[in-house]
Structure 1
């Protein structure tokens, strides 16, 4: 299994409660997939591990399910040994467990918000119609090939921009300082439409010429960004069936952004 899957599987296991129960040898409670020294690994936990594997492109099969359960048993054995070795209450463990809990709750909050405020089929159709109408009489859609650099602070973004202005390639600076996963590709994002990006990015993107870098850092909820317009092209718009998945994704991101903006406005945030 790939290491990224194993890391996500560990997160699934650690973010859920493993219950210790007393039971007869070789006897498992209802909804238990396995017991490791009395610690129950539930079928629900295993199913979340399966879903984590499927989300990373693996195919569901008896072999995959056996491998996921086997890895969870290993994780349970190791975590129990860590308890015995006194590692569970170390500062390092507490920091990591707090981070896992925070990330899990953040994902849970977003998913709960979206379940209460879903993007409906009618929303997707209306947005598609709006985007088609916005194309004007020529009816052509503009796509932008974009690269980006994501950093934590405005100072970091200004420093990266200064390096680019002095002649370093955007690709090199992205690989050097970007915090985004696409740093290994030099910050390459690929082809996007302005409407598929968040408003702060879109408003800058449409002003850039081919090869140009955003003249100033762009503040986003998760940090500061620099973007570069690698290329630009026009094409006929896709049909509704071809576009609806992308439109739905864009509307989902917009709803989440607006929700996060509301939380920020009501919060007392102090940054050093």
Structure 2
């Protein structure tokens, strides 16, 4: 999660709009790119803005660097004026600043954890080998077309399951009560492999017949799930080169999920 000024840079600085920049190198600290009414804009701040612009497809150039610095100066001027006008002490500002800080620290913690616990090439190769071995003697990939329903409590999930057992379509039940964004598509998830889902889901998915809904609610960190197997098919597995990007992404998500699960288990969380 980038700082707010970086997001602002991406939406405006990339147009290469300029402000007049007065250079007075002798009065600035070594790591300073500029000073606005005595407030230092560091080279590190400018570099973050430049890297954010490059990640969005911009090409490094003196013009881009000048535009980024110019936009940070504009932001500094506006923020200083907001301070003078007393806006920094408003409830709205305090809430937004706390939210930005929280998101930034969350992203920093997660990226720090991942840098200390990286997914290595050896991990990816080992996972590919494991997945290939799990295909059995036929060596075919089994894919499942899945729909799901997500609710907050087990009682709600049991009530939804009862509605499907009485003949109400899974699609209709999902659209009426699911909390997930895919409710508008009737809970459609698409084609997945069992190994691409979390164990709680995979263990149930492989036991279902086409058209069947999971016989009991499945507890997940996000809520209680019901899943329906819409269809099933088999295909030849991809080569390692074809699969390694998806495998790496899956392993990254698994590490993050496990880390967050540990934090949840060791914390006191109260929800109204």
The change in CA–CA distance for 1:9 and 1:73 in structure 2 (over 3 A counts) is farther
- Residue deviations 1:190-223, cap 9 Å, x none? 4432212222232333344555555655443345
- Residue deviations 1:161-218, cap 9 Å, x none? 47985558469839x96465x6787765544322122222323333445555556554
State how far apart, in whole Å, the 1-side matches of 2:82 and 2:196 are.
45
Moved more, 71-80 or 58-67: 58-67
User: RMSD value over aligned CA atoms?
Assistant: 3.9
1:115 aligns with 2:115: yes
Q: Post-superposition shift, 1:134?
A: 0.3
Please say if residues 200 and 218 of structure 2, whose CA atoms lie closer than 8 Å, have aligned partners that are also in contact.
yes
Specify every segment of 5 or more residues in structure 2 that has no aligned partner in the other structure, as ranges.
9-21
Alignment of 1:196-211 (within 5 A): 196-210=196-210
Q: Which residue of 2 aligns with 1:238?
A: 238
Q: Post-superposition shift, 1:74?
A: 3.8
Count of residues in Structure 1 that have an aligned counterpart in Structure 2: 253
State how far apart, in whole Å, the 2-side matches of 1:185 and 1:65 are.
44
State how far apart, in whole Å, the 2-side matches of 1:81 and 1:164 are.
59
TM-score normalised over the length of structure 2:
0.71
Q: Which residue of 2 aligns with 1:41?
A: 41
Q: Which residue of 2 aligns with 1:173?
A: 175
Q: Which residue of 1 aligns with 2:30?
A: 30
TM-score normalised over the length of structure 1:
0.71
State how far apart, in whole Å, the 2-side matches of 1:54 and 1:183 are.
36
- Residue deviations 1:222-252, cap 9 Å, x none? 4555555454332111111221222222222
Q: Secondary structure at the match of 1:95?
A: helix
Please say if residues 34 and 40 of structure 1, whose CA atoms lie closer than 8 Å, have aligned partners that are also in contact.
yes
Please say if residues 163 and 173 of structure 1, whose CA atoms lie closer than 8 Å, have aligned partners that are also in contact.
no
1:264 aligns with 2:264: yes
State how far apart, in whole Å, the 2-side matches of 1:171 and 1:34 are.
59
State how far apart, in whole Å, the 1-side matches of 2:159 and 2:82 are.
42
1:10 aligned residue (4, 16, 21): 4
Q: Which residue of 2 aligns with 1:60?
A: 59
State how far apart, in whole Å, the 2-side matches of 1:29 and 1:201 are.
56
Q: Post-superposition shift, 1:13?
A: 7.2
Specify every segment of 5 or more residues in structure 1 that has no aligned partner in the other structure, as ranges.
1-6, 15-23
Q: Post-superposition shift, 1:135?
A: 0.2
Alignment of 1:24-173 (within 5 A): 26-27=24-25, 28-53=28-53, 55=55, 57-62=56-61, 68-146=68-146, 153-154=152-153, 158=157, 161=160, 165=164, 166-167=168-169, 169=171, 173=175
Moved more, 69-78 or 115-124: 69-78
When Rg is computed on C-alpha atoms for both structures, the one with the higher figure is 2
Q: Secondary structure at the match of 2:88?
A: coil
State how far apart, in whole Å, the 2-side matches of 1:65 and 1:163 are.
61
Moved more, 34-43 or 24-33: 24-33
The change in CA–CA distance for 1:171 and 1:53 in structure 2 (over 3 A counts) is farther
The change in CA–CA distance for 1:260 and 1:9 in structure 2 (over 3 A counts) is closer
